[in-house]
Amino acid sequence: MNRPPAALTAAALLLASPLAAAPITFSTALPVTQGAGVLRLMAEHAETTSGEGEIDDGALQLVLAWGLSPKLTVFGLAPWRRTELRRRTPAGLVSRRGSGLGDVTLLARFTAFKRDAPGSTLRLAPLFGVEVPTGRDDEADARGPLPRPLQPGSGAWNPVVGLVVTRQTLGWQLDAAASYKASGTDDGIDAGDVARLDLSYQHRVWPRRLGGGVPAFVYAVIESNLVDRSRDRTAGRALAGTGGTTWYLAPGVQYVRRRLVLEAAVQLPLAESPARDDDPSLIVSARINF
């Protein structure tokens, strides 16, 4: 995707035990229970205008998380992408499409600090991993090789590091994260690195008071994503129309049951770089604990 969703976004909403809220657009610091797993399916649609033209980007991401120990959780993320590029030329509107399996991401998250109290917990967890170049980066159509934004894969190994802090109570949860992806080089093009700062607040709106026999919960969610992309380079020269900083605000809602979470959020671009013009994007997700 051209949006922040990447490894850290897809790993979001993976929790330690049933009946808990979590961020939608990035990862929480809460661990997955040892010997238990979480399966998440996330769909996203976004439209962006850049130097390449108008880009319509859709993605499905399948995420599997497994608790190896009380402190260590590992993740595997497999995205499928479908991207369309529309560009106006003197000959008229030209449309090109690319689709396929994207780069698989492998992540590990370790709880380095925790402080538990009655009705609340505080966790700090570094994470690290790598995007593996499993997606094709040589797709072509009748006009020739597809532009880079239409390629399902990056063609490069991209290390990812980050740090997540979570404060959870019975009524609300606050998460903050910082992450960095060092993009590799493919076909002489050094893709820009990506740094991001994320913040999420989830507040239980139903039921207002906890009691016995409540089968489900509803949370209102508000999130902030600050994403900075360095410019792509080739032969040491920066490529025009790449890079920049974008700030997104994402209101959302979560419906939480013991083994199932359903959620949706709309990601709104509040401040953008001159190199790109993002429309609001939609994120929907389902997660099953097992």
Range of the domain at 94: 7-289
What pTM did the predictor assign? 0.89
Asked whether 48 and 277 are in contact (CB, 8 A), the reply is yes
Residue 193 pLDDT:
95
The pair of three-digit structure tokens given for residue 287, joined into one six-digit string: 């997660």
Residue 88 in domain: yes
Within 13 Å of residue 275, how many CA atoms lie on the same side as its CB?
A: 15
Residue 2 in domain: no
Cβ count within 10 A of residue 13: 29
Asked whether 41 and 25 are in contact (CB, 8 A), the reply is no
Rounded Cα distance, 135 and 131, in Å: 10
Residue 1 in domain: no
For the domain that residue 228 is a member of, what is the CATH number? Answer: 2.40.160.40
Residues in the chain with pLDDT < 70?
A: 1-19
Give the type of residue at 61.
Q
The domain total for the chain is: 1
Residue 12 pLDDT:
41
Residue 23 in domain: yes
Please, is 147 exposed, middle or buried when counting C-beta atoms within 10 Å of its C-beta (0-12, 13-18, 19+)?
middle
The pair of three-digit structure tokens given for residue 7, joined into one six-digit string: 């490894």
Residue 47 in domain: yes
Residue 3 pLDDT:
56
Asked whether 290 and 276 are in contact (CB, 8 A), the reply is no
Q: pLDDT tens-digit profile of 139-196?
A: 999 999 998 889 999 999 999 999 999 999 999 999 999 999 999 888 878 889 999 9
The pair of three-digit structure tokens given for residue 269, joined into one six-digit string: 């671009």
Cβ count within 10 A of residue 206: 11
Rounded Cα distance, 114 and 97, in Å: 47
